Amino acid sequence: MRKHNEECGVFGISGIKNGEAAGIAYNALLTLQHRGQEGAGVAVVDGNSIYCYKDKGLVSEVFNGSVLSMIPKSNLAIGHVRYSTTGSNTKENAQPIVTEYFMGRLAVAHNGNIINAKPLREKLEGYGILFTTSNDSEVISALIAYERLRTETIEQAVLKAVTQIEGAYSLVIISGDKLIAVRDPAGFRPLCIGKLGGITAFASESCALDAASIPFIRDIKPGEIVSIDSNGNETNVFFGEDAKKGLCIFEYVYFARTDSVIDEMSVYKARCNAGEILAEECPVEADIVCGVPDSGLEAAQGYASASGIPYGSAFVKNRYIGRSFIFPTQEQRETAVKIKLNPLRAVVEGKRVILVDDSIVRGTTSALIIEALKNAGAKEVHLRISSPPFIHTCHFGTDIDGEENLVANNYSLEEITKQIGADSLGYISVEGLKKACNDAKISFCTGCFTGDYPVKLRTEHVKNELEKK
């Protein structure tokens, strides 16, 4: 009974003449904190070396004034915020991952999940390569280093490495004086580029570019490698052009920050659109429409606009507690929900409330929220969900529970409604959600709702390994 989790956020910057690349990366990571709260790190180029500082915890906990002051001045840095889907939550598994090899050093920050990491790791171990972490991101870094020994340039090494990788990966890499960004051929996870004069930055979301005061230029295309040298010159290579495309549609529903634009689609607009379509697909008579903070608010506004039912705020949110999925035990998560959201009795008392949320995983969080509203005097609570029911797990970077634990696989709509204590329950359809995000004009991965993934699991061995996670 927890919210779904997204693996990571990445940021990279080059061309900072005053040497404050680490400080800019720090500010960007604060903006990407919603994408991962278990660990954070920054790596900078320091002459012929790479200096990396990382640890468990929030960005503000890992980095303070004294830590930032000891990071070497540099015009080139990458940063990472982590939520672990592969590898335990340890300091060693925090990113960026730094790999030393005969010809130099490189550092990698990765968002996504590699489904053939185990056979690749075994192959590299057979070549005598040692691993110090248990996450799949080190496999990527080691593979690039191995290929660099057999190629003339770092760009060629990256290309040879990523063509062997299956799964989801948005990468930022530093090697020598180069900053490199890669997005997998399916385009599972977002990655964008911004420029200002001779400065270039890559980020998981455009809101991080805003924090760095660097204008957004465009999204990195699926299957694109972008390399920036010390003079700001850009080179581009494309691979996997024939791959089936599929941005994770849940980026628009939940993961991304509302002020981000992903693949030319405003996250805010997508969520409002979803609420409008939800009102058309699942109407109900009520007195007020409210959203569960934060990712349910825009969908609630859209629902209110389309239905003509007034919009209101049903909760006061404690801004000093993180997303409840971060807490490792169910008891802690349930306590976090109670601390995090407190109903506004003056708004809901005696009212028929339409409550809009982004999703239901197991159902306990929804039950706690509905119970709180009814204890505050709500006459009825009609729950509306701006994503379809989860019926499949995700293999590409979203930590959705095993299929046997997903409430939609175990109970009918009526049974779920009774179990969570709602007076009615409605989900947006898969086609409705796609329509809400149609400004993106791209293909989406909806595998967690439909079982149709852009990347097939190529072997039963890999499939079995994934199902154990």
Burial 408-421 (b: 16+ CB within 10 A, else e): beeeeeeebbebbb
Question: Following DSSP, what letter does each residue of 90-133 receive, concatenated?
Answer: -TTTSSPEEEEETTEEEEEEEEEEETTHHHHHHHHHHTT---S-
Q: Tell me if residue 288 falls in helix, strand or coil.
A: strand
Q: Tell me if residue 269 falls in helix, strand or coil.
A: helix
Which distant-in-sequence residues (6+ apart) come within 8 Å of 438 by Cβ?
none
Q: Which of 8, 52, 290, 437 is catalytic?
A: 8
Side-chain half-sphere of 236: how many Cα atoms within 13 Å? Answer: 8
Residue 313 in tokens: 């705020």
Contact status, residue 26 vs residue 383, Cβ threshold 8 Å: no
> How many C-beta neighbours within 10 Å does residue 118 have?
16
- Annotated active-site residue 437? The verdict is no
Contact status, residue 459 vs residue 200, Cβ threshold 8 Å: no
Cα–Cα distance between 190 and 250 in angstroms, integer?
11
Residue of 155, 146, 153 lying closest to 173 (CA atoms): 155
Cα–Cα distance between 384 and 318 in angstroms, integer?
23
Cα–Cα distance between 460 and 469 in angstroms, integer?
15
Q: Which residues are catalytic?
A: 8
